[in-house]
Amino acid sequence: MDCQALKEAIANAPVKSREALDRIYMYTTAGDEVLPEFAAYLEDASSYQDFIEAIYRDENRKFSLLWAECAKFKRRNWLQFFEPKMLVENVRMKTDGVPIQFGSGVMLAPTGSRDNIAKVYVFASKAFNANAAEFVTSIGGTFTLLDHEFCGIYGLYKYRGSVILEEWQVEHEPVKVDPDALQ
C-alpha cells in the first residue's frame, strides 16, 4: 500500500470512522507522503486496518498520541501493555459505577461500560497512555476505594469496563482498611 492508496481507503471508510482515521493519517504523513518512520508499516499493509494494527503492535510507541488513537480505533484492551501498581479484577457493581467514599459521601466512578463487573487500575504518574482513556475528573484528599484508603491527588479515567486512577500527587501509598470499620 502507498500513501495515495491509504488516503483513498480512508475516504471510502465508514463515515463514523473517518474522523479517527483522518487524525491517524495526519500523524503519519506530511504533504501526502508517509513519514519515514511509518514507511515500512504502510508498505507491508494491504488496508488501513493493517497499517493501524502495525502501529498498535509497536510497543515502542505505546506512550505516543498516535498509538493512543490506534488503540482507541482498534477497540482493544490496551491496558495490558502497561504495568499497574494495583489491579483489582472482577469488581461486582450494584450501581452504575465503582463507589468511592469520602467520609459520609459517595461518588460513583464510571467504568465506560454497562457491565456489572469492572476492573480497577492504579498507575503511577505517566505510567500509562492517558490519551487512550477517557478523563473523568480528578480526586483530591482522603478517600476509600475497594477497601483501600487513598490519600493524595489522583486523575480518574475510564475505559471499556475499567476505572483507572493515576497518581498525580500522593501523600502515602494506598492502605488496606477494614471494611466494617468504615461504616
What confidence tens digit (pLDDT) does each residue in 129-152 have? 999 999 999 999 999 999 999 999
Kindly state the average pLDDT of the residues 24-43.
Answer: 94
Residue 89: per-residue pLDDT: 93
**pTM (2 decimals)?**
0.87
| Residues in contact with 64: Cβ distance below 8 Å, sequence separation at least 6, in sequence order | 129
* Mean pLDDT of the 160-170 span: 95
Band of the pLDDT at 32, cuts 50, 70, 90?
A: confident
Percent of the chain with pLDDT over 90: 80
Question: What pLDDT, on the 0 to 100 scale, is given for residue 100?
Answer: 93
How far apart (Å, rounded) are the C-alpha atoms in residues 143 and 4?
Answer: 53
How far is it, in rounded angstroms, from Cα 129 to Cα 127? 7
Predicted confidence at residue 167, as pLDDT, reads: 97
**HEC string of 14-49?**
CHHHHHHHHHHHHHHEECCEECHHHHHHHHHCCCHH
Phi, psi of 152 (to 5 degrees): 150, -160
Largest alpha-carbon pair distance within the chain?
64
Does residue 1 carry a pLDDT above 70? Answer: yes
In this predicted model, what pLDDT tens digit does every residue of 84-137 receive, in sequence order? Answer: 999 999 998 877 889 999 888 899 999 877 778 899 999 999 999 999 999 999
